[in-house]
Each structure stands twice: as C-alpha cells, then as structure tokens.
Structure 1
C-alpha cells in the first residue's frame, strides 16, 4: 500500500510540484463532475428551448439577465446562511433548486416563456447557492502554492463534462425530434442532480466563524486598491462572459436549425479547452498568472474581430475554438489572483466566505451589464457582431486592472 502511495506521489510530482489533492477535494470534484454533467446536458438547450418557443433572441436574453441578476442576491443571503448552518448545506440547496427547475420545465414544456421570470430566478437561486459553496470549499481545500494546479484540475473536470454532456444531449434531441428529446434530456439532468445531492453528504462540514462581515468586505474595493482592481476587473470579465455563455449556441441554432450542430460545436471547443486546462495546470505558477492573462486577453480581443466581417457557421466555429484555448488563461489567472487578494486580507480565514460573495457580486454586475447591451440595441447580425467585438476588447482593460495588483 505504501509502495502504491509512493508511486502515485512520484507521478503527480512530475506533473506539478504542488499536485496534492486532499480526499475532501477529490470528493468535491466528484460531486462537481456529476453536477456539471447534469448542467451540461441541459443548460445550453434551455436557451435553445426558449428560442424555439418564441423565435426571439430577446426572451433568451431576458432569461439570462434575470438569472445573472438573481445570483449576487442569493450569494449574499447564502453567505449568511452558510455561517449559520454549513457550506455543504448550501451546496445541497443549490442542487435541489436545479432539480426543481427541471421539474418545472418538464411540467410547463412549450409554455416555458410564460414562466420566464420564475425560471430565470430559480436558475440564479440554484447557481448562487451551489457556486458559493463550491468556490469556498475549493478555496479551503487548496493553498496558494497548489491552487493553480487545483484550478487546472477543476477546469479539466469542467471540460470533460461539457465535452460529453451537450453532445449526448444534442444527439438525443436530434434523434427523438420534437419535445420528446428535451423531456428525456431534462429528466436525465434531474437524475444526475439527485445523485450529486446524495454524494454531497460525504463532503465534510467545515468549521466556520458565525459572524457575517459582509458590509465591511462589500466596501473593501472603495478602500483597498488591490480589491478595487480585482473586483472591477472581474466585472469586466463577466461583461463578456455573461453574453458569450449562451449567444454562440443560439446564433448557431438560428442559422442551421439543428441541435446536433451545437453538440459538435461544444464537443470540439470543450476538447480543445480540456487540452488548454491540462497545459495550464502544469505550467501556470503564481508569478506567471498576469503573463498568461495578457496572452488570453489579446487573443480573445483579436478573435472577436472576426464577427465584424460576418456571423456564420464558419466564424462561430473559429471563434469558439480559439476562445476555448485562451479563455482558460484568463479564468485561471483571475481566480488565482483574487484568491491571493482574499488570502492577504486581515482575518481572511474568518472573512473568506464574504470575499467569495463580493467577487460574485461584481462578476454578475458585469454579466448583467453585458446582456443589457443585447436588450438595448437592435438584434440584427451586424450590431451583434459589433457588440461581441466590444466585449472582446474589454478583456484588455480587464488585464490592465489585474496587472496593477501588487502581489509581492
């Protein structure tokens, strides 16, 4: 047994000098992987489902705007609840809310657009409770030395889930046709959420300070330069991310009218993102985060310009492939720097939950601002192409702010 452990330690040390994964983190990643499979099966197709019902981009944008606006509210409340009960309790609430969301979708089916406010708010509630707990537990189960490796592993789990699940979902929907495929996909997601909920009981409850410091931490960006740079920078990251989380899939479906094409797109882009996460997990170190973020921001801005020429199947695939490579450079770097800023805050162990809450508030302010552009401007392809280009260029400014963070 000791020999096997020695071999395992040797192999992982060759991958990354700080590659230790605690048993608690392995359990968390297992739950997260199952959860992401459920999300991956359905999330993209919830947007497509709404599009098919109304044939109107505005209803999809409104759904996502409600979703993003709800998340920070739930994060703030969820932080208070986590202090009173536990983080794992919040995790299970999030999973249960996702389950309820898909029960409602299975019930209302083609009348979903009539319940857009409820569905968007429920999606935000689910994500708020779940990701607050997941992000804080991920922070607790890692250190600054191995955090880049851990986030790389988290990215690999995400990529595998988004590689397999949307393609399988697309194949099922295409094969069964009509609403039957959507019903089966949503039902499968519901089953996976139930499994994830049961397994989450194996994640140990962390001892946390009961006092909730949300007011003081919420206003830290007004007082501390490092906090101001990372939180405004995170808003700019959300500014692009909120739109591109759903827009490429909806645009592709609007052009080809086939879920299978979306499955191909997610399969290819997720495979490439998997390789990018693998590369990042082995290469990125605390002192190289800003360099990788700059590379990612430049390439995201550059590839976004392709839509100034034309929005088509070809340009959507090109954009998705290239952005899949470099968005990992941005996301892993930003999270590493934000966690470092939280860690260096006085009494950080007592206020780590508040730090994650505030980060999510600023991220979703950016997401709401991004989708608001789609509601304010015409939905013609030329205007949409210009908006995507502007969102891409904003990532250069995001890097500029993160680069100002003093990490020494």
Structure 2
C-alpha cells in the first residue's frame, strides 16, 4: 500500500525510478498497463532515431560496397562500430548513472547527425574513411541505447513493459517499412550519387529534430556511484541469474552481428537495384509491424515461454531456403517469415532481462551497470559473429559459405531460448501463483 511503502528507504528509490518491480505485491496491473506521457515522448524520440537510421543505414553499406566491392571491408566497418559502441557503453556509464542521462541521450542523437554529416563530406572517399565512420557511429549507438534503455526501465514497470516493447517494435517496423522504400525511390529517381547524398541529408535533419524533442523529456535524477567492474562479481557467483542472461545475450548477438549488414547486401547483389532493396524493406517491415502489434497485445509473462520458443524455431527454419539460393523471391520468403515470427522472440528476450533488473533492490540500484552488461554481452556476440564472417570471406567469398554461416549464426535464437527457459517458465509460474489459475 502507498501509505506503508512510502515509509521505507527502498520505496523512495522505487518512486524515483518508477521502473522497479521489487516488493510491489499490492500493485494493480490494470492500472499500470497504460503508458504515460514521458513513455510516449521516449517512444517518439526512439521513432525518430530509428527512422533516421532506417532511411540511410542500410544504404550506407550499399554505398560503400559500390565504391569498393569487398565483403571484408563491410565486416571491418561493423567491427569498428561494435568495438567503439562497447567502449562507449562502459565509459559513458558513469555519465548516465552519476550525471544527466538526458544529455547522454541527446548526445547520442547528435552524434548520429555528425555521422551522416561525415558521410556527406567524404562522398566517394567514404570507403577510405571506414575506421572513422565506424567510430562515430559506434559512439552514437552507445550513447543513445545506453541512456534510452535506462530511461525506458525507469518509466515502465513489469505490467506495461511488454506493451512498451510492442510499441517500440511497431514504430520501428513502421520506420523500417517506409523509410528504406522512400530511400530506394529517391536513389532510383535521382540516379548516381545524388540520391544517396539526398537521403543522408534527410537523415541528418531527422536526427536534429530528435535531439530537439529530447528537451521535453524530464531530467532524471542521478542514481548513485558507478561500478566500473559492471557486476563482475555477480557473473562469478554461482547461481546468479545474470550468468545465464549474459550468455543468452552473447548468443543473441551472434545473429545480429552478421545479419545486420549481410541480408541487405545479398538483396542488392542479387538484384542490382536500390528500389528492390527498398521494396524488400517495405514488405518485410509491413509484416513485422502487424506482427509486433499483435504480439505486443497478446504476449504476457505467462505466454513468453512458448511464444519465444516458437519465434526462435521459426526464425531458424526460414533460413533454410537460402541454402538453395539468394534470389529475390527466396530472400523475400526468408524476410517475411522472419518478420512475422521475430516479435515472438524479441519481446520476451528484452522483457525478461529488464524484469530481472527490476526484480530486487540490488539490481535496481545498479540498473545502469546491468543495462551495460546486457549491451556488452550483445556486442561480444556481434563481434564474434562478424570476426568469424571476416575470417571466412577473406579466405573464400563462395556464396555457399556465406549461406552456411547465415544458417549457423542465424539459429542462435534457439540457444537464447534454451539459456533463458528457466526464467521464462518462472515468469509463467509467478503469474499462476498470483492468480491461482493459468492465464495462458
């Protein structure tokens, strides 16, 4: 009850963070399921950030590929991005925890604008500037996603977290649906490098607008001293839930490291058309938009176990057609199948981690460190996948080798589910225990 909780030191921390779920036995889910104004503003900032990236990020890789057709070069671009993002997470953690996390969020958006400004400035020399471009993009991603995830945790709770994640996925899919299609249309209509420069300039403007919107988000209070070792003790302690969670995030990153740039490149190289790449994003993101909307409404903690397993298995199965070729039709089957089942995997994967952060006093007090631990684990997986890809294509650019790598690393969601299955099942049992019946 509010009257009793307000008397404890823990409840004051809980009131400040708003995202913690610990010791909240008297909460009423039907009252907390709605998202507040700050959550809506954060979703808007996220939408602008993803829209700006969706408009141009895919085509940055294609732009570099057209300058210098080298799979390994794109792999190294991803590696520099992942390394600089990881370092930014670790270093910026002190700023986000002890300083103004809204300034960190704002800086991340501004750095994204700087990245596209540099791409415009380098023009056809961008392939020679891959280390610098990867560095700036990594700094942008690190600052934005660290501060975004911490603020997201603070303004949501266990009961509306799936809904927030559903809206995040839905708006991201909407951006991914329209923005690349518009980019392909502009590039095809303008011809040459003019279209590329136009979409990079539009992305720059979108990020500036996103930075302005962040001023309407409330300043969050600092939350203690930053632990530089990022919870190393919890990973070494036997029985710690963070051991399985960390390995699960590494496994999830294995897929993301390669799929983040290879899929779009395969679509482009099989068609030679930016317009068809834009259409591919339009169709697959439209499917993901509908799927995220449905999954966001239907996925409850009690349904995460089987929902995530279904999503992981189907995402892996839809890679199999690629073994027989990467023509446009085959890529479209893969893309649509992945888009439909991805939300079943992605929403529980995010929610179960943040529920753990909100599950006890110690983790809430170290929420920044826990978010950084999650992101470092994801980046470790991405880095492993990308380095293996570079090592393989440096020896041979055989298309079948690339397809086999996609199958191996693309099946990692099944491993993620296996590592999180006990926590997913525990969430289901927790709901059953509170209600006295199985709501699923």
Are the aligned partners of 1:18 and 1:149 in contact in 2 as well (CA < 8 Å)? Answer: no
**1:151 matched residue in structure 2:** 165
The 5-angstrom pairing of residues 228-247 of structure 1 reads 228-247=243-262
Query: 1:261 deviation in Å?
Result: 0.7
Matches of 2:370 and 2:123, distance apart in 1: 38
Query: 1:310 deviation in Å?
Result: 1.8
Is 1:279 the counterpart of 2:294 in the alignment? yes
Q: Deviations over 1:254-297 (max 9, x none)?
A: 12111001100000000000011011111111122121110011
Is 1:250 the counterpart of 2:230 in the alignment? no
**2:366 matched residue in structure 1:** 351
**1:299 matched residue in structure 2:** 314
Q: Deviations over 1:3-44 (max 9, x none)?
A: xxxxxxxxxxxxx88531111111111122122221111100
Q: What is the DSSP-based 3-state SS (H/G/I as helix, E as strand, rest coil) of the residue aligned with 1:55?
A: coil
Are the aligned partners of 1:302 and 1:392 in contact in 2 as well (CA < 8 Å)? Answer: no
Q: Which moved more, 1:28-37 or 1:104-113?
A: 28-37
Matches of 1:379 and 1:364, distance apart in 2: 25
**2:323 matched residue in structure 1:** 308
**1:42 matched residue in structure 2:** 56
**1:404 matched residue in structure 2:** 422
Query: 1:216 deviation in Å?
Result: 5.2
Are the aligned partners of 1:92 and 1:197 in contact in 2 as well (CA < 8 Å)? Answer: yes
Q: What is the DSSP-based 3-state SS (H/G/I as helix, E as strand, rest coil) of the residue aligned with 2:231?
A: helix
**1:317 matched residue in structure 2:** 332
Query: 1:345 deviation in Å?
Result: 4.0
Q: What is the DSSP-based 3-state SS (H/G/I as helix, E as strand, rest coil) of the residue aligned with 1:245?
A: helix
Query: 1:396 deviation in Å?
Result: 1.5
Q: Which moved more, 1:370-379 or 1:261-270?
A: 370-379
Query: 1:329 deviation in Å?
Result: 1.3
Is 1:111 the counterpart of 2:125 in the alignment? yes
Matches of 1:326 and 1:219, distance apart in 2: 36
The 5-angstrom pairing of residues 201-212 of structure 1 reads 201-212=215-226
Q: What is the DSSP-based 3-state SS (H/G/I as helix, E as strand, rest coil) of the residue aligned with 1:91?
A: helix
Matches of 2:251 and 2:138, distance apart in 1: 20
Matches of 1:65 and 1:315, distance apart in 2: 28
Matches of 2:232 and 2:184, distance apart in 1: 41
**1:369 matched residue in structure 2:** 384
Q: Deviations over 1:348-406 (max 9, x none)?
A: 33211111010000000001111112101122110011011111222212111010335
What TM-score comes out, normalization by structure 1 length? 0.93
Matches of 2:230 and 2:190, distance apart in 1: 53
Matches of 1:261 and 1:18, distance apart in 2: 43
**2:410 matched residue in structure 1:** 392
Matches of 1:379 and 1:94, distance apart in 2: 35
**1:340 matched residue in structure 2:** 355
Matches of 1:112 and 1:62, distance apart in 2: 14
Is 1:122 the counterpart of 2:140 in the alignment? no
**1:330 matched residue in structure 2:** 345
Q: Deviations over 1:174-211 (max 9, x none)?
A: 10011110111011111111111111011111112230
Q: 1:193 aligns with which of 201, 207, 226?
A: 207
Q: Which moved more, 1:202-211 or 1:261-270?
A: 202-211
Q: What is the DSSP-based 3-state SS (H/G/I as helix, E as strand, rest coil) of the residue aligned with 1:246?
A: helix
**1:56 matched residue in structure 2:** 70
Matches of 2:61 and 2:343, distance apart in 1: 24
Q: Which moved more, 1:356-365 or 1:307-316?
A: 307-316
Are the aligned partners of 2:166 and 2:295 in contact in 1 as well (CA < 8 Å)? Answer: yes
Are the aligned partners of 2:307 and 2:345 in contact in 1 as well (CA < 8 Å)? Answer: yes
**1:381 matched residue in structure 2:** 399
What TM-score comes out, normalization by structure 2 length? 0.87
**1:222 matched residue in structure 2:** 236
Matches of 2:326 and 2:390, distance apart in 1: 19
**1:180 matched residue in structure 2:** 194
Q: Which moved more, 1:172-181 or 1:56-65?
A: 56-65
Q: 1:75 aligns with which of 71, 81, 89?
A: 89
